[in-house]
Amino acid sequence: MCTVTFIPAPDKVYLTSNRDEKHWRSPALAPAVYDFTSGRIVFPKDGDAGGTWIAAHENGNAIIFLNGGWVCHTPAPPYRKSRGLILLELIDSTMPYHYFLSISLDNIEPFTAIIWEDRRLYECRWDGTQKYEQMLDATRPHIWSSATLYTEDVVRKRRQWFEAWLQKQMTPHRDDILAFHQFTGDGDEHNDLMMNREGKVFTVSVTALTIAPHSIGMHYLDLKNNQTFAQELAIEKTMVGR
């Protein structure tokens, strides 16, 4: 849940996430489509708590989580519920941004949620005490890096890499974005987009969402096992904006 980009295109948007995790975490299950109360949701499932860090709903909404709010916090378990299960609660609602504003997050570990709801982009943060939220310009690309792993200087450098890459891309496509997420950096394995810190924390997967008017595609690179998975989910127009 550690590096996220949002890139708009003329007829779709791309949301892509690098998952950086500790070596002892159980492997995630490949993306699948699950039936929820509100409809069908596609996501890779966390192997420990059963939640996720990225999901999209058949109504066209999507959410990606990053660890931490504004700064690197000291974990204080036990928490009431994993953040990955909170994400599933949010995406199971018809208006996840508004649900974030109303849900109780007491005793939940800090996180940042990037929410795509009804063709609007929101950045929502929980710092363990207080919620913060803002609507972002959905016509511009954005990049985020987890506050728990990257200092402000590194976050700034990664933003510069992103801006330089965008200048070379007339119209980036999914494969271009996946390459950016895998191969961008300056040779510092601790802080490159595909990172590795002595095998203790490293990038285990890259997940790309392509949200078009009628369908959602999820492309999943399992970097630990060198496997690729894909799922498609039709958007039910009657559900959008409900």
Both tokens of 94, joined, read 């018809």
CATH superfamily of 3-239: Penicillin V Acylase; Chain A (3.60.60.10)
In 108-181, at which residue ranges do the beta strands (DSSP E only) sit?
Answer: 111-117, 120-126, 131-136, 142-145
Q: Where are the domains of the chain?
A: 3-239
Assess contact for 235 and 58: CB atoms under 8 A.
Answer: yes
Q: What is the pTM of this model?
A: 0.95
Assess contact for 128 and 69: CB atoms under 8 A.
Answer: yes
Q: What's the pLDDT at 73? A: 82
Return the closest-CA partner of residue 165 out of 3, 5, 1, 2.
5
Q: What's the pLDDT at 239? A: 52
Assess contact for 117 and 124: CB atoms under 8 A.
Answer: no
Helix (H, G, I), strand (E, B) or coil at 2: coil
In 23-138, at which residue ranges do the beta strands (DSSP E only) sit?
Answer: 29-36, 39-45, 54-57, 62-67, 111-117, 120-126, 131-136
Both tokens of 205, joined, read 């997967």
Mean pLDDT by 10 residues, the chain (242 residues): 93 96 85 97 92 97 94 80 96 97 96 97 97 98 95 96 95 96 97 94 97 98 96 80 40
How many contiguous H segments (helices) and E segments (strands) does the chain have? 4, 14
